Structure 1
Amino acid sequence: MLLNCHSYFSLRYGTIPVQRLVQLGQEHNISAMALTDINNLSGVYEFITACQKVEIKPIIGTEIRDDNQLRYILIAKNQEGFGEIGRFLTELNEGKTPLSATVPEFKDCYIIYPFASAPTHLKEDEYIGIRSEQLTLLYTEKWKSLMDKIVILHTINHLNEEDYNLHCILRAIDNNTLLSKLTDRDCAAPTDIFKTEEQLAAEFRDYPIIIENSKELINSCNYSFTFKVPRNKKHYTECKQTDSDLLEQLAYTGMINIYGKDHVKAQERLAKELKVINELNFAGYFLITWDIIQYSNSQGYMHIGRGSGANSIVGYCLGITNVCPLELDLYFERFLNQNRKSPPDFDIDWSWNQRDDILRYIFSKYGKEHVAFCGAVSTFKYRSIIREIGKVYGLSKSELDALTRNPIEDHETNSIVLLIHQYGQMLEGFPNQRTMHACGILISEEPITNFTALDLPPKGFPVVQFDMHTAEDIGFDKFDILSQRGIGHINEAAELILQNQGIEVDIRNIALSKDEELCNQQLKTGNTIGCFYIESPAMRGLLRRLQCDNYKILVAASSIIRPGVAQSGMMQEYIYRHNHPNEFEYFHPVFEEQLGETYGIMVYQEDVIKIALHYGGLPATDGDILRRAMSGKSRSLEGLQAVKNRFYEHCDAKGHPRALSEEIYRQIESFAGYSFCKAHSASYAIESYQSLYLKTYYPLEFITAVINNEGGFYRTEVYIHEAAMSGANVLPPCVNSSDLQTTLIGKDLYLGLKLIEGISLELLKAVLKERKANGRYESLFDFIQRVPIAMESLQKLIFIGAFQSLGKQKNELLIQAKLLLTKKEPAPTLTLLQEPIQEYTFPTLKRFVHEDAFDELELLGFPISCMPFELLKTKFRGDVMVCDLLQNHKKTVRMLGYLIARKHVPTSKGSMYFGTWIDANGHYFDTVHFPDSLTEYPFVGGGCYLLLGTVEVEYHFPNVQILKMARLPFITDPRYHYDDDNNQTTASKVREDVSLTHRQPYPKASEINLPRHRMKFTK
């Protein structure tokens, strides 16, 4: 008789987890219960699964509310009724069907109205729900004729008084108000707690007909759901056989194009895979993926296919992936096996600015009723909990900041803080908002609303109300459609090369870049800034330690850099064995037999499966459990523990030493959720090579593309430094030569207008639109007459050098601007006949050599007219440079470095940092900062530091272990201060005379904290 149960999926309202709700039902021998979360179906499948385990009849519905007012409850009679609810909620979310007083027609749903607002005329499947405290109202004549239409409506929303307080906190959070301002209308009734069927029967004993009505309604509901039944679109063509025939035809055509007609190994591998694909009914999945790729190719888009699907020669022959499984001996069982019930993952990347078009194609081709994004749920986390609960208790911002910034043991112990802790612990992990999976797309055979309601974000695509784990449980296989900046770098670089040099580079031709001699030399020396996946300090250091000079080593490096291998200690062991191939022993003969290519080290997910099967003797089903655990897809801790127990049992039975078995399983466990499969690493390695080829042979076009696509490991400043080191003439943004993006003309690199801080994007677009329509700007007067601009923005353009093409000094332009514009006239008055302004001849003004650099620091965040070292008070540039480090192993050195990156690493002894720097020659070096050094010599922001440390060379890679360091001061800002002769320069004085009253003086050298996020330098 529990027809109205809320779980915590009634977001910011219900307080009971689904599992706890069902557990209560089991404890009190409840025979049936209905989950009716408010306006959503998020918890349905978890509820059904939990009920089936304890033999409770699950009833599914939803509670329809409008502005927190209960309108009615929908209960599904069967699967068709559930689909009706899904479509109804979807239409509500879409906004096409506003909630009206008239309830839509439902063929397979019951409708229960609350007693207080029930209509007097009811249809066949409509009922009135009454609470026990409302029974005294039934004595009127009106209700006697409706007794056979009244059912028990007891709401379960919370468990006890403490839970009710949590509910009120959630309501205050949802309404963005104080607890004290909540009204009865905002909250549930305190009595909406769990009651047994016996308690309800006792409360309604005087109305047995109501009890009977409720039981009849429950008995007539027969919604059932079968899990693990495929729900994806079944066929790409009309049936399984035609799918199979088409897939075979396409695969063999692709194989002949790649391998030729007589490649026996390719033929055997292809036949083996096609057989398994057809047996597992995955042909449609492959063909839909192929279809998406065909559309992408037709638009000229570049894609990268990765994931376990890249283990497949079928995927390779179809053009989905670009990794040859024969070349790398990719492990077929990692791709597909008879124990695997879901298809392999095809993670497919496009450029960040092309992905939306791919999505539009998928939704258009397969129909909006059948396609949706996979859902997700964001939960309440510690810091957000403290802040949210503190707000509803009325704490000030400063009090909230103190609570969120300090560890819990340092909080005050007043009553409010204690309440925040109490309810914060209860709230942690609760669902907060429904959101979407970053890339997972579902394509269903039936209308997708048969299985869920859809959320419709204002600027996005439909999203189902369940997550990827539930999707897999109920039979959906997602298509991962991703985007990344690296492909954007490659695409734009190829376009710039054609535009700038007239050379067409077929970068999709993998043979062009893979194992190219000069590229491999760059790889070996870690000269990979800007290249996809291999530009971070850690990766560049690894490449140098391995002396990586070929594709296969890069594939291994792409995986051992991952936390799984690194944390197990096997990355260091791999480096040692790679550099000393004859100076180690294998753990066991199985490791030499199965993992000879990686020196007996488990590097890839496949390696773990091989060792589990061949060393541990586990069956293939356990290998698949381990695979899922390493992919982060296993939620069964019990299943993993069972595999671990069986691993030890089998190892003991084989006579393996227990200590060795424990060490091997420790390494296996360290992989969970962090390691790559080999095919995934190979896909990354190919894209890295494509980037590296462009960087090696077309460095200026490549680095320009990196700057424009953003999203690299480093800030923009570092990539501009790379451009300068590659021979570019780096120039400030220019109104006549720059676009919003950075522009390369020959070797002149004009920075993009959008890099200027404090100027609106609308103004910059107006500048470009006017230039495109009417040509170059010939003078400042010409610019002002054509572009409406305020004095503040105009002066910023002058200060940054955006009018350099006019051939006048900044100081002259500033005086002209003052004559042409005033603060009170933000836009010029245009007349039909514009008279030219009288030109004045200005005296030549002395300009301090570093004034431009300080302008650039202020408006770009980094200097481009000189390197930061030239702004230092000291002329010292270090005792040794980067080129000297290899010859100074174990020696203490003094170096001068400009900080470009640092990484924090917590340790048991305190914070540790890795730093990356540039020396005065523009070359990179790395430092290690241990906790004891940092205590006395911490980082104090960006800028140039004097470093004292010991050089350690590890396998061809030097770093400096820092003993002491200090940030060095810049010279005083010459734009506002006196020169060495105690006389202010004429140029600076003019600048002060014409500067905006709004303009704040640049901070004194002692106040400069460079860089916050950026810094830059050029030759």
Structure 2
Amino acid sequence: MAKAAERIVEAAGMRRDAAHRLLEETRRTAAACLVDPEDHIGLGSVHFPEPRLVGAGRRSAERVLRSHCAAAMVLRGYDRDRVRWERLEDELRTIERLGFASYFLTVAQVVDDTRELGIRVAARGSGAGSFVNHLLGITHADPVANGLLMERFLSVRRAALPDIDIDVESARRLDVYRAIFERFGAERVATVSMPETYRVRHAVRDVGAALGMDPAEVDRLAKSFPHIRARDARAALAELPELRAVAAEQERFGKLWDLVEALDGLPRGIAMHPCGVLLSDAGLLARTPIVPTSGEGFPMSQFDKDDVEELGLLKLDVLGVRMQSAMAHAVAEIRRTTGRVVDIDDPGQVRPGDPATYDLIRSTETLGCFQIESPGQRDLLGRLQPTSFHDLVVDISLFRPGPVAADMVRPFIDARHGRKSARYPHPDLEDALRETHGVVVFHEQIIKIVSIMTGCERDLADEARRALSNPERQGRVRAWFHAEAEKRGYAPEVLARTWEIVEAFGSYGFCKAHAVAFAVPTYQSAWLKAHHPAAFYAGLLTHDPGMYPKRLLLADARRRGVPILPLDVNRSGAAYRIELTSGDSRGGPDKEDRHDRGSGDHIGVRLALSDVHGISEAETERIAAGQPYSSLQDLWLRAHPGRPVAERLAQVGALDAFGTSRRDLLLQIAELHRQQRGAARRDAEGQLPLAETGPAAPAGLPDLDADERLGAELGILGMDVSRHLMGDHRDFLEELGAIPAKRLRDASHGEVVLVAGAKAATQTPPIRSGRRVIFTTLDDGTGLVDCAFFDDSHAACAHTVFHSWLLLVRGVVQRRGPRSLSVVGSAVWNLAELAQLRKEGGLEAVAAELAGASPETAEAGSDSGRDSDSGRRIEMPTGYAMHPWADLQPAGDQAATGRKLWHASPGSAG
């Protein structure tokens, strides 16, 4: 810059003194613009909040951390355990050597502040392997008792900052953010930004708008696609059977597809990361640009999650978990209705090894339970039959791509049930593999194997494991492993077999610490379902944490004997509540949910006002605050519901307490609305108010019939409350010979069956073979039926599966255990269309329709149609093959009622 200024001076012929001043000013400006990455933005160093903010005022952070841990050893009763003292000392030495004491104190402070707010909090991830985290109250499970390794989380060989993720109640995540800002100050805290890039649906919408296309047409096209990359739009049209209707009109849209694919991956905007929070010292604002977020106005760094780690900033992931909110709501409802304080984190109350909890888990009736409710997980539970916390840890770890790719699931199940004896590559590895019957399941086992066979420390063994994910480093690791193991006398055949296991599983397995952290809320949620089912369902329905729609949870609650209490403006609140009911409840909940009550008393779930379609938060609050109401007019004058909301409340029976038919109520609402508009008009014109009469006397109109009531429930609440919607088809299905879900468990392997139900969930997760499989779960009111459609049936079946709600499926029963079965579908029909055909053409017409789609016809259709199996595969480094259209949220999102009544997973099941 200075040289450029000199040339300018020479060219301008300026006086010497003026030129000197200009040059000096230019040099100062250049010096001010010079950025030193280390000095100015702290690149290469770590920045934690000042120790005084986390209790280390007069003492060092290291001494404070040691003091906290020693006190916790006494409080937890570990002070006489030499093994735990040695483990603690090893971890503290590592933390002190790395200079991370302030980090642990900072995270512990955040967790303590969160608990002080009454918010549930638990850590997840590899941090569960740290005994220090356990003593600080950051993690629940004891890593020593569960065989977890600190080296998987932190060691002197790992250059990256430690990563502790904490789960909090999703409904109160922003409260935790505010507490962090309050504790550390806005000059030390910021949220992390996240770029939003174009995928196919957004690209179709924006390109369609730019081209001036009809908005309804654009909306239809966008919703037709699964959630895929924009660049794959035309490939999806060519290969996915469920898109054949759009593909048939592909040419009509001209350059739309060129422009859509050109937008792939380009930035569409920037948003606040869903969980990342930066914590630093008071110099944070000098090291990162900040903008306020929309809505809450939190300071947001313009650096993304990878940038902030390079800058040495502490990124704490505060994840909002809906299951934590659901469990908190359940516990609060128990306390509100019974006065009993249930602490599900207290092992004295939620006892490990509870028989009722494991009976529930083994039954596979685990809808709503954290991590174990998906069809694949329920299948695995049925085969594994857990009896202990360790079994839950293994179950969660096995249901991952790594163990599936390495074919570890089947050998483990066989060994667990004694069908095959445990086999170890070498007797030295028995201690490392005994807990999983000789089958490698956890990352920690890989670390132990490498350490045992090479004689290296565990931190180096973990570095070797991590290197396996890098193809360029795999060869060096293999050479090092063989060389070191040969020095220790291991035979070549042992090395070959062991390396095969290590290579296949080392970088794609699952961390046991992750599984232990997940297994804690898994067990807690199952315990709540087993002992307090009504409160459990109230929490689930309020916070919607799982993969199934609310209507399916209602059906599950009915099957477990929990009464479903209808919407009532005098009893319903903004959230789901539990209430004491009397009379027959078809089985009733467990004794803990009935304590101190008569044998005829049961606890039911009262529906929530917030589920009424279109109701605002303000309307919900006004209605709840004004309860009870003596009449419709009283509700109208004090709660001020809008006319559409009042009419919907009447249609679903929330106003039945006012003692007249629902049609009469609708008429009265119209009259109240007319009077209100007239009064407003007179007031605007300055007229004197007239005495208003109340709503007209009941006109004696006929009430809504059963079908109209069910239709109103589905359209307004998205749930079939008064009765299960499949009840209307029961006689028809008996005529067809369809097997109900509760009787399907008695069907034999290989039997051809007809099954039917309302679609509850659809996924296309990756499987070991690399084929694309559509999994769908049907609910027929008696239970669930899990169906699988393999690629040879997609041409005939995929469109109907994705775009219909009520399905009739012909398939073959596949059994893999006493509690594990599914139906492999070969043909599928829209049940609603078949029912209409039955009315118009009789049973003979339906029989002809079914005969026209025999398995042979379906196979022929696959050959002649556009098969979804394109032959392309995504080859993974371990040999795991994935279909290019697997692991996607399927197309479509609308039910026939206009409300989404099933779930479509954005990723793998579970």
Question: In the alignment, what sits opposite 1:1009?
Answer: 896
Letter in 1 for 2:609: L
Which one of the candidate residues 954, 961, 974 is aligned to 2:824?
A: 961
Question: In the alignment, what sits opposite 1:367?
Answer: 185
Compute the displacement of 1:536 (Å).
Answer: 1.7
Which one of the candidate residues 419, 436, 440 is aligned to 1:602?
A: 440
Question: In the alignment, what sits opposite 2:134?
Answer: 316
Instruction: Answer whether contact 1:510 1:690 (CA < 8 A) is retained.
Output: no
State how far apart, in whole Å, the 2-side matches of 1:927 and 1:260 are.
50
Letter in 1 for 2:544: E
Question: Any idea what the Cα deviations from partners look like across 1:807-832, whole Å, max 9, x if unmatched?
Answer: 22212323333444449938878998
In the TM superposition, 1:272-671 aligns within 5 A as: 272-342=90-160, 344-379=162-197, 405-407=233-235, 424=262, 433-458=269-294, 459-513=296-350, 514-580=352-418, 582-615=420-453, 622-626=460-464, 638=472, 642-643=476-477, 646-647=480-481, 655-657=491-493, 660=497, 663-668=500-505, 671=508
Secondary structure in structure 2 of the residue aligned to 1:757: coil
Which one of the candidate residues 17, 26, 48 is aligned to 1:232?
A: 48
Which one of the candidate residues 702, 710, 714 is aligned to 2:536?
A: 702
In the TM superposition, 1:771-786 aligns within 5 A as: 771=626, 775-786=627-638
Question: In the alignment, what sits opposite 2:623?
Answer: 767
State how far apart, in whole Å, the 2-side matches of 1:130 and 1:387 are.
51
Instruction: Answer whether contact 2:121 2:168 (CA < 8 A) is retained.
Output: yes
State how far apart, in whole Å, the 2-side matches of 1:146 and 1:627 are.
66
2:649 maps to 1:797: yes
Q: TM-score, normalised by structure 1?
A: 0.68
Compute the displacement of 1:910 (Å).
Answer: 6.2
State how far apart, in whole Å, the 2-side matches of 1:880 and 1:303 are.
41
Instruction: Answer whether contact 1:873 1:969 (CA < 8 A) is retained.
Output: no
Secondary structure in structure 2 of the residue aligned to 1:406: helix
Residue ranges of structure 2 left out of the alignment (5+ in a row)? 223-229, 239-249, 581-602, 843-893, 904-910
Compute the displacement of 1:520 (Å).
Answer: 0.8
State how far apart, in whole Å, the 2-side matches of 1:679 and 1:227 are.
31
More displaced stretch, 938-947 vs 692-701: 938-947
More displaced stretch, 526-535 vs 292-301: 292-301
Alpha-carbon distance change, 758 to 232 in structure 1, aligned in 2, over 3 angstroms: closer
Compute the displacement of 1:143 (Å).
Answer: 10
Question: In the alignment, what sits opposite 1:23?
Answer: none
More displaced stretch, 526-535 vs 739-748: 739-748
Letter in 1 for 2:345: R
Question: In the alignment, what sits opposite 2:716?
Answer: 859
Alpha-carbon distance change, 647 to 349 in structure 1, aligned in 2, over 3 angstroms: same
Question: Any idea what the Cα deviations from partners look like across 1:41-74, whole Å, max 9, x if unmatched?
Answer: xxxxxxxxxxxxxxxxxxxxxxxxxxxxxxxxxx
State how far apart, in whole Å, the 1-side matches of 2:537 and 2:181 are.
35
State how far apart, in whole Å, the 2-side matches of 1:940 and 1:434 are.
32
Question: Any idea what the Cα deviations from partners look like across 1:675-701, whole Å, max 9, x if unmatched?
Answer: 442222112111111111111111011
Alpha-carbon distance change, 662 to 754 in structure 1, aligned in 2, over 3 angstroms: same
State how far apart, in whole Å, the 2-side matches of 1:796 and 1:855 are.
8
Alpha-carbon distance change, 972 to 781 in structure 1, aligned in 2, over 3 angstroms: farther
Q: TM-score, normalised by structure 2?
A: 0.76
Secondary structure in structure 2 of the residue aligned to 1:959: strand
Question: In the alignment, what sits opposite 1:752?
Answer: 608
Letter in 2 for 1:223: D
Compute the displacement of 1:792 (Å).
Answer: 3.9
Letter in 2 for 1:482: L
Compute the displacement of 1:954 (Å).
Answer: 0.7
Instruction: Answer whether contact 2:749 2:814 (CA < 8 A) is retained.
Output: yes
More displaced stretch, 243-252 vs 218-227: 218-227
Letter in 1 for 2:526: L
Secondary structure in structure 1 of the residue aligned to 2:535: helix
Instruction: Answer whether contact 2:555 2:724 (CA < 8 A) is retained.
Output: no
Instruction: Answer whether contact 2:572 2:608 (CA < 8 A) is retained.
Output: yes
Alpha-carbon distance change, 395 to 607 in structure 1, aligned in 2, over 3 angstroms: farther
State how far apart, in whole Å, the 2-side matches of 1:352 and 1:622 are.
38
State how far apart, in whole Å, the 1-side matches of 2:666 and 2:236 are.
55
Secondary structure in structure 2 of the residue aligned to 1:610: helix
More displaced stretch, 321-330 vs 499-508: 499-508
Instruction: Answer whether contact 1:441 1:478 (CA < 8 A) is retained.
Output: yes
Instruction: Answer whether contact 2:732 2:835 (CA < 8 A) is retained.
Output: no
Alpha-carbon distance change, 692 to 451 in structure 1, aligned in 2, over 3 angstroms: same
Identity %: 25
Alpha-carbon distance change, 862 to 266 in structure 1, aligned in 2, over 3 angstroms: same
Compute the displacement of 1:529 (Å).
Answer: 1.3
Question: Any idea what the Cα deviations from partners look like across 1:574-632, whole Å, max 9, x if unmatched?
Answer: 223222364353344454342221123332222232233334667756534356579xx
State how far apart, in whole Å, the 2-side matches of 1:641 and 1:466 are.
35
Secondary structure in structure 2 of the residue aligned to 1:529: coil
Question: Any idea what the Cα deviations from partners look like across 1:963-1004, whole Å, max 9, x if unmatched?
Answer: 33323228999xxx99x9xxxxxxxxxxxxxxxxxxxxxxxx
Letter in 2 for 1:946: L
Question: In the alignment, what sits opposite 1:679?
Answer: 513
Secondary structure in structure 1 of the residue aligned to 2:520: helix
Number of equivalences: 784
State how far apart, in whole Å, the 1-side matches of 2:59 and 2:300 are.
32
Letter in 1 for 2:828: M
Compute the displacement of 1:927 (Å).
Answer: 1.7
Instruction: Answer whether contact 1:507 1:690 (CA < 8 A) is retained.
Output: yes
Instruction: Answer whether contact 1:323 1:679 (CA < 8 A) is retained.
Output: no
Question: In the alignment, what sits opposite 1:168?
Answer: none
Question: In the alignment, what sits opposite 1:118?
Answer: none
Question: In the alignment, what sits opposite 2:873?
Answer: none
State how far apart, in whole Å, the 1-side matches of 2:480 and 2:624 are.
68
Question: Any idea what the Cα deviations from partners look like across 1:677-732, whole Å, max 9, x if unmatched?
Answer: 22221121111111111111110111011111123211111222223223333244
- Structure with the higher fraction of residues in helix conformation: 2
Letter in 2 for 1:444: S
Alpha-carbon distance change, 492 to 325 in structure 1, aligned in 2, over 3 angstroms: same
Letter in 1 for 2:561: G
State how far apart, in whole Å, the 2-side matches of 1:271 and 1:666 are.
33
Letter in 2 for 1:750: R
State how far apart, in whole Å, the 2-side matches of 1:469 and 1:856 are.
47
State how far apart, in whole Å, the 1-side matches of 2:457 and 2:206 are.
49
State how far apart, in whole Å, the 2-side matches of 1:798 and 1:239 are.
63
Secondary structure in structure 2 of the residue aligned to 1:337: coil
Alpha-carbon distance change, 581 to 606 in structure 1, aligned in 2, over 3 angstroms: farther
Secondary structure in structure 1 of the residue aligned to 2:402: helix
Alpha-carbon distance change, 149 to 543 in structure 1, aligned in 2, over 3 angstroms: farther
State how far apart, in whole Å, the 2-side matches of 1:348 and 1:968 are.
45
Secondary structure in structure 1 of the residue aligned to 2:60: helix
Question: Any idea what the Cα deviations from partners look like across 1:470-511, whole Å, max 9, x if unmatched?
Answer: 433343332232221111111110110111233221212034
Question: In the alignment, what sits opposite 2:694?
Answer: 837
State how far apart, in whole Å, the 2-side matches of 1:871 and 1:880 are.
14
Which one of the candidate residues 937, 941, 948 is aligned to 2:797?
A: 937
Alpha-carbon distance change, 889 to 708 in structure 1, aligned in 2, over 3 angstroms: same
Compute the displacement of 1:833 (Å).
Answer: 9.3
Compute the displacement of 1:219 (Å).
Answer: 12
Alpha-carbon distance change, 334 to 853 in structure 1, aligned in 2, over 3 angstroms: same
More displaced stretch, 398-407 vs 337-346: 398-407
Instruction: Answer whether contact 1:861 1:1015 (CA < 8 A) is retained.
Output: no
State how far apart, in whole Å, the 2-side matches of 1:873 and 1:617 are.
66
